[in-house]
A = this chain, B = another copy of it.
Amino acid sequence: MEIKLLKNVPLFSELSPGELEELLELSEKRRYPKGSIVLYKGDVGQVLYLILKGKVKVVLFDENGKEIILSTLKSGNYFGEMSAFDQMPRSATVVTVEDSEFLVISQRSITDQINKNPHIALKLLSEMSRRLREADEQISNLALLDVRGRVAQILLKLYKGTNVRKGEDYRIVPRPALKDIAAMSGTSRETVSRVLSEFSKRGLISLTKENIIIFEGLELDEDID
């Protein structure tokens, strides 16, 4: 039944129907409503979660509850692989932002598959490289850019995730909550509100109720100031 679904996940695309079958039998399907905590930072656990349906955010909190979003993942993506490979506790908390469904795969199943089929390892290495790049970029943004720059980077990244283009502009649909943009930029809701209205006044973006339209030129933000 989900064989077809798995087949479309790049990570498993090289597996034979038999191997997929085997993987499925050893795995468990789990559902979580929107807003559930799937795993907690500090937990031990070596299972990997493949997102079949829905969307999650990977987050960290400080002692006052201030949140930083490390990444957002949707169906076809997976998380929890780090603990599967280095046996350390969960390094972040994962929360569903939509009703979601996961395939929970044990570390054992994964390493078994790697041994049979090293190609899977290369897929994993490639994906982890991508994540490391993104993490490095986020570090760079936090350390080297001011809030305007960071928010601009987040808008561009959000656009790449939605990919709605009309003529010369780029739309982020649906419009994300300011507090989420803030949690991605490492700043406060209020500051994001101010920064976006400044961008809007400068003609770099257009804010509507349903979306944010990015005009060419936002990339250059740093210079214009």
Contact = CB atoms under 8 A, between A and B. Distances in A.
A125 B85 contact: yes
Contacts of A126: 85-86
Interface of A: 60-63, 66, 68, 70, 81-83, 85-86, 88, 91-92, 111, 114-115, 118, 121-122, 124-126, 128-133, 135-140, 142-145, 186, 222
A154 B82 CA distance: 23
A221 to B, nearest CB: 12
A133 B63 CA distance: 19
A144 B60 contact: yes
B131 A132 contact: yes
A150 to B, nearest CB: 10
A183 to B, nearest CB: 9
A44 to B, nearest CB: 14
The 10 closest A-B pairs by CB, nearest first: A121-B121, A143-B186, A135-B135, A142-B142, A82-B129, A68-B143, A62-B144, A86-B129, A85-B125, A128-B128
A168 B160 CA distance: 51
A186 B142 contact: yes
18 contacts: A61-B144, A62-B144, A62-B145, A63-B222, A68-B144, A82-B129, A85-B122, A85-B128, A86-B130, A91-B132, A114-B118, A118-B118, A121-B122, A125-B128, A132-B135, A142-B143, A142-B186, A144-B186
A85 B123 CA distance: 8
Contacts of A186: 142-144
A142 B124 CA distance: 27
Nearest to A62: B144
A136 B70 contact: yes
A136 B135 contact: yes
Given A82-B133, A86-B130, 11 more contacts: A60-B144, A68-B140, A68-B144, A70-B136, A85-B125, A86-B129, A121-B124, A125-B128, A138-B139, A139-B139, A139-B142
Contacts of A135: 132, 135-136, 139
